[in-house]
């Protein structure tokens, strides 16, 4: 069933002749059309949302990499606290550091990423200090300190790595810890 639009057209013409209503032109129909607004909003916001998501993923990867490096250093610190050797090279501690780094998905001994693994170089050194001057330069472990006190043995354990990110610049990680041997 078709509707007869003649009465409505006549009313529209009468109102526009009296100045009470304007006829709908193509430009007014275009400006009042709401179809496609959601698609346009999505097209404008999607790149910003995607970029923000990649940025958050980069930050999460950085935090994960830093925690993994700290775990390697903690394992070395545990070995250092058990070590009773007088060797300044700290071979046992470095061995544990390398084993933990390899099991932690790092490219051990490398300065660049290898097969998607971030680089990691680790090291440790043993030194002695007098109890009343811990922050002073290291002394020979056979030194007798003031007050006939024996020297304290310490390990300096460090790691060096670089992050490889999608958006953020590559950042260096160089954490270091000091452990006293008891």
Q: In a 10 Å sphere around its CB, with 0-12 CB exposed, 13-18 middle and 19+ buried, how is residue 149 labelled?
A: exposed
How many Å apart are CA 66 and CA 91, to the nearest integer?
24
pLDDT for the residue 182: 74
In a domain, 10, yes or no: no
Question: In the chain, how many domains are there?
Answer: 1
The pLDDT of residue 131 is: 86
Evaluate whether residue 151 is within a structural domain: yes
Give CA–CA dist 140/151, Å, rounded: 8
User: DSSP assignment of 154-171, as one string?
Assistant: EEEEEEEEE---SSSPP-
Residues 152, 127: Cα–Cα separation, whole Å:
8
Neighbour tally for 176: CB within 10 Å: 11
- For residue 77, the enclosing domain spans 45-181
> Given this model, what pLDDT does residue 14 score?
75
Tell me the pTM. 0.71
pLDDT tens track for 64-99? 999 999 999 999 999 888 877 766 668 888 899 999
Evaluate whether residue 27 is within a structural domain. no
pLDDT-derived band of residue 174, with 50, 70 and 90 as boundaries?
Answer: very high
CB 115 within 8 A of CB 127: no
Q: Are 100 and 90 in contact (CB under 8 A)?
A: no
Residue 11 lies in a domain: no
Query: CA–CA separation, 103 vs 72, rounded Å?
Result: 9
Tens-digit pLDDT profile for residues 31-72: 677 778 888 899 999 999 999 999 999 999 999 999 999 999
Sign of CA pseudo-dihedral 161, 166, 168, 170: positive
In a domain, 40, yes or no: no
Inside any domain, residue 144: yes
- The verdict on residue 99 lying in a domain is yes
Do residues 45 and 53 touch, judged by C-beta distance below 8 A? Answer: no
pLDDT given for residue 24 in this prediction: 67
Helix (H) or strand (E) holding 66: helix 37-82
Asked if residue 94 is part of any domain, the answer here is yes
d(CA 107, CA 120): 6
- pLDDT at residue number 89: 66
Q: Is the pLDDT of residue 154 over 70?
A: yes
By CB atoms closer than 10 A (0-12, 13-18, 19+), residue 120 is: buried
């Amino acid at each position: 069933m078709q509707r007869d639009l003649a009465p409505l057209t006549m009313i529209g013409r009468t109102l526009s002749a009296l100045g009470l209503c304007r006829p709908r032109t193509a430009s007014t129909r275009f400006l009042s059309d709401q179809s496609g607004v959601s698609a346009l909003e999505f097209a404008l916001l999607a790149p910003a949302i995607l970029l923000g998501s990649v940025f958050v993923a980069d930050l999460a990867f950085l935090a994960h990499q830093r925690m993994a490096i700290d775990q390697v250093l903690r394992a070395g610190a545990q070995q250092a606290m058990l070590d009773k050797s007088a060797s300044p090279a700290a071979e046992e501690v470095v061995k544990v550091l390398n084993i933990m780094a390899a099991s932690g998905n790092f490219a051990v001994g490398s300065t660049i990423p290898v097969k998607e693994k971030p680089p990691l170089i680790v090291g440790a050194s043993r030194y002695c200090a007098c109890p009343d001057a811990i922050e002073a330069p290291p002394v020979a472990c056979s030194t007798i300190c003031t007050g006939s006190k024996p020297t304290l043995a310490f390990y300096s354990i460090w790691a060096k790595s670089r992050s490889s990110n999608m958006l953020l610049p590559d950042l260096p990680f160089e954490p270091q810890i000091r452990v006293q041997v008891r």
